[in-house]
């Protein structure tokens, strides 16, 4: 446990000036009447009451938090450090490798899709790709593995066509010359979706994640070809436990960005390098991406995938007859913050402008 130093601030009101894009893992806590400085993986030097805190992290990086204590108007301003000490996974030098472990056909009321389960050498999460269309094939899945027999290939889903009872061959007897490479076909519609237990499973209307997932599946399925990549980065990467803490903070008046920062996370901790590797494994180098998030587009393009078109995701509540009842207001607040604080490319309806 780290050493703690507490500065008492009078009176009770405390406000923080919050960083928007810093990916800092700060160990500075602001709690009700007190400003608590926790010493964990850094050394802290406070140079003045109204001063700066220099942190030296174990990795050698340093940051400066500037703290202004105003006893007159009861405010504490913490200016974000200029040098973020943390690195995202995508910044590391370890080459990322993804491999499709298993694939299976999932029949739905509106047709079949193929669920691909990926493993990788960065985390032990099961990232997924839902593939629509026979021509989109995983390179790592199709590659033969040493010593495997036909039944092994069938069990891990490396078959062509559709399995039938009693089948013993992974090939469906396809006699054509070669399957058309997926890159020779028009760029498919792709959704890179981040896990949201609350929005997708318990159907929370604090966010639009459930609606977006459903809409993306519908649009891609109607085109007959495309992919939904489902990344296990719950709560913009902070995990479900801290996301639920963030919800409690939101009930106390924080927005989604300030709640994350209060919990010592950047506003968005997500990376998309696993998604770009999965797209490369599926031989898709040109895509039409369903998103409003410019950070996602930039990261995907930096990963070597060309986004030939951005297909917007307009929340159904914002399409027509915008209504501001109580439940919609929570969603409105969530979406408004995405536009105003996270650069999301959506037009906020007039009714929501202050």
Ligand X SMILES: Nc1nc2c(ncn2[C@@H]2O[C@H](COP(=O)(O)OP(=O)(O)OP(=O)(O)O)[C@@H](O)[C@H]2O)c(=O)[nH]1
Give the residue with the Cβ less far from ligand X, 42 or 338: 338
* Dist. CA 158–CA 179, nearest whole Å: 15
Q: Which of 28, 138, 256, 276 binds ligand X (CB under 6 A)?
A: 256
Give the residue with the Cβ less far from ligand X, 170 or 291: 291
Q: Which of 122, 156, 336, 338 binds ligand X (CB under 6 A)?
A: 338
Give the residue with the Cβ less far from ligand X, 140 or 293: 293
If you ran DSSP here, which 8-state letter would residue 74 be given?
Answer: T
CB of 299 to ligand X, least distance (A): 11
Is residue 268 part of the annotated active site? The answer reads yes
Residues 227-246 that bind ligand X (CB under 6 A): 233-236, 238, 243, 246
Phi, psi of 285 (to 5 degrees): -105, -10
Give the residue with the Cβ less far from ligand X, 63 or 212: 212
Give the length of the chain: 354
* Dist. CA 158–CA 130, nearest whole Å: 15
CB of 200 to ligand X, least distance (A): 8
Contact between 291 and ligand X per CB under 6 A: yes
CB of 312 to ligand X, least distance (A): 8
Contact between 313 and ligand X per CB under 6 A: yes
Considering 156, 270, 273, 332, which one is annotated as catalytic?
270
CB of 21 to ligand X, least distance (A): 14
Considering 208, 268, 273, 332, which one is annotated as catalytic?
268
Is residue 273 part of the annotated active site? The answer reads no
Contact between 271 and ligand X per CB under 6 A: no
Which of 21-29, 145-153, 182-190, 290-298 is the region at the interface with ligand X (rule: CB under 6 A)? 290-298
Contact between 207 and ligand X per CB under 6 A: yes
Contact between 276 and ligand X per CB under 6 A: no
Catalytic sites, residue numbers = 268, 270
Residues that bind ligand X (CB under 6 A): 194-196, 207, 209, 212, 233-236, 238, 243, 246, 256, 260, 291-293, 296, 313, 338, 344
């Amino acid at each position: 446990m780290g050493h703690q130093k507490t500065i008492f601030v009078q009176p009770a009101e405390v406000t923080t000036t919050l960083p928007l894009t810093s990916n800092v893992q700060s160990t500075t806590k602001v709690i009700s009447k007190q400003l608590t400085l926790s010493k964990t993986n850094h050394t802290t030097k406070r140079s003045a009451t109204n001063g700066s805190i220099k942190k030296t992290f174990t990795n050698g990086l340093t940051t400066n938090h500037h703290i202004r204590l105003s006893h007159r108007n009861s405010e504490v301003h913490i200016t974000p450090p200029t040098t973020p000490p943390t690195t995202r996974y995508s910044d590391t030098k370890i080459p990322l490798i993804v491999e499709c472990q298993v694939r299976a056909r999932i029949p739905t009321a509106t047709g079949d899709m193929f669920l691909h389960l990926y493993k990788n050498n960065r985390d032990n999460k099961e990232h997924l790709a839902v593939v629509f269309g026979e021509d989109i094939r995983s390179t790592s899945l199709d590659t033969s593995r040493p010593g495997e027999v036909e039944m092994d290939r069938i069990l891990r889903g490396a078959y062509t066509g559709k399995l039938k009872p009693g089948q013993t061959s992974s090939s469906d007897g396809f006699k054509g010359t070669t399957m058309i490479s997926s890159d020779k076909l028009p760029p498919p519609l792709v959704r890179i979706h981040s896990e949201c237990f609350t929005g997708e499973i318990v159907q929370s209307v604090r966010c639009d994640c459930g609606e977006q997932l459903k809409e993306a599946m519908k649009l891609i399925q109607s085109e007959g070809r495309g992919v939904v990549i489902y990344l296990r980065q719950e709560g913009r990467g902070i995990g479900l436990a801290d996301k639920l803490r963030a919800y409690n903070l939101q009930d106390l008046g924080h927005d989604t960005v300030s709640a994350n920062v209060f919990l010592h996370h950047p506003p968005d901790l997500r990376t998309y390098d696993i998604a770009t590797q999965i797209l490369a494994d599926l031989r898709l180098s040109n895509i039409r991406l369903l998103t409003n998030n410019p950070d996602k587009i930039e990261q995907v393009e930096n990963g070597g995938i060309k986004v030939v078109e951005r297909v917007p995701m307009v929340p159904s509540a914002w399409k027509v007859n915008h209504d501001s009842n109580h439940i919609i207001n929570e969603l409105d607040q969530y979406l408004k913050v995405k536009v105003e604080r996270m650069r999301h490319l959506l037009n906020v309806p007039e009714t929501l402008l202050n």
